[in-house]
Structure 1
Amino acid sequence: MAERFVAVDDLVVEDLEGDMCLLRLDTSDVLVMNQTAADVWVLAADGTPADEIVRILTDHYQCSPADITDQVTSVLNDFVARGFLVPPS
Structure 2
Amino acid sequence: GTVFFGAYGGLSKQDIAGEFIVDNSHLVAYSSNIKMSVGLSGGLISSVTSGEGLVNRLKGNGVIYLQSRSVAGLVRFLSPKVR
What TM-score comes out, normalization by structure 1 length? 0.25
What TM-score comes out, normalization by structure 2 length? 0.26
User: Larger relative CO (CA 8 A, sep 6+): 1 or 2?
Assistant: 2
Query: Which structure features the higher share of helix residues?
Result: 1
Query: Which structure features the higher share of strand residues?
Result: 2
Answer with 1 or 2: which has the greater Rg. 2
